[in-house]
Structure 1
Amino acid sequence: MQQLAKIHAAKPERRTIVFLSAPPGTGKSTLTTFWEYLSRQDADLPEIQTLPMDGFHYYNRWLEAHHLRACKGVPETFDVDKLAENLRQVRLARRPGRSTTDSGTTRWNTLLSSRRRS
């Protein structure tokens, strides 16, 4: 958390995006949820929000058509274009988690709810 705070302090006007990669079931979601909690407890820490990759799996019918359903979770099963578009939209927003009124921005909650469902 201190390292993230230092990175953020160097350019506070910009978001810092961290990608966390590990095998399934190793605690990535638990860790990032804990980071979110910690960031809310200390005003000196930057605000953290999690964007889980699970919401970016291709639909099961696509996975089945490409013979990938059995290995759901490997990189090829994610809609990276959809993730990239969501990250672009987040970059346009003033701050993650804050409502914006500009026509070129989207609310973070809308981005989360617009992710593909499996």
Structure 2
Amino acid sequence: MTARRTLRPAGIVAEAVALPGRVLLGITGPPGAGKSTVAEDVRRQAEAAGRTAVVVPMDGFHLAQQVLDARGLAEVKGAPHTFDAHGFVAVLRRIREQRDETVWAPAFDRDLEQPVAGAIGVDPDTDIVVVEGNYLLLQQDPWVTVREILDRTWYVEVPDDVRRARLVQRHRRFGDDLERATRRALGNDERNARLVAATRHLADLVLD
């Protein structure tokens, strides 16, 4: 049964960093829940505890915008089929199994709205790898494999009205007018959020 905890990062992170060896910790939840903020907080606290840590975001595996445009997928960007899911799984497997050399993962540039290859290095001495993204618990191939690779998965949850307001603000920050930002937040983002919410029960921990 999934445990439920109000977010008290220091104590929760202490539990994760106490695990031996390399730890792959998944941070999941719907769009706008605050996953990136939690992931970065975990990284900082892990390093403060003397562990080397890095964040690997699922968003780095977005298909390039020109590919989405060419395939008519631009309006559903962020849906599961707009990612290189097989590539994501392959890199996570390398991070799990390969400790003798650096594994390079892509990042996602919010200003460019594009993935950037080889931007994040997971060095051999990295202890904590925080994997952040919407679909870490999705029960579809090949996403279903992700949960098997991760040691722990935490689900970040906030009230829906807060999450939607954040998404509108995010879209406006990156150039959308209010009408388009609202349409995206209540349309494609909301469909994706419902898909992610259906995986909540699979998380090891739900963070309020």
Partner of 1:54: 59
RCO higher in 1 or 2 (8 Å CA, sep ≥ 6)?
2
Offset at residue 32 of structure 1 (A): 0.7
Query: 1: CA distance between counterparts of 2:73 and 2:106?
Result: 24
Structure 2 unaligned regions, length at least 5: 1-12, 109-113, 117-208
> Aligned to 2:28, what secondary structure does the other structure show?
coil
The Cα RMSD (Å) is 2.6
Q: TM-score, normalised by structure 2?
A: 0.41
How many residues are treated as equivalent by the alignment? 99
- 1:1-118 paired onto structure 2 within 5 Å: 1-6=13-18, 8=19, 12-13=20-21, 15-43=22-50, 46-94=51-99, 100=100, 105=101, 107-108=102-103, 111-113=104-106, 117=115
Unaligned runs of 5+ residues in structure 1 are 95-99
Q: Name the CA distance, whole Å, in 2 between partners of 1:52 and 1:26.
A: 15
Distance 2:68 2:97 in 1: 31
Cα displacement string for residues 14-57 of structure 1 (whole angstroms, at most 9, x for unaligned residues):
x33232222323321111111110011113xx543210111100
Whole-Å Cα distance in 1 between the matches of residues 107 and 33 of structure 2?
A: 26
Distance 1:114 1:30, change over 3 A: closer
TM-score under structure 1 length normalisation: 0.66
Shift of 1:75: 1.6
Paired-residue identity, %: 28
Distance 2:27 2:71 in 1: 26
Q: Is the 8 A contact 2:17 2:46 kept in 1?
A: no
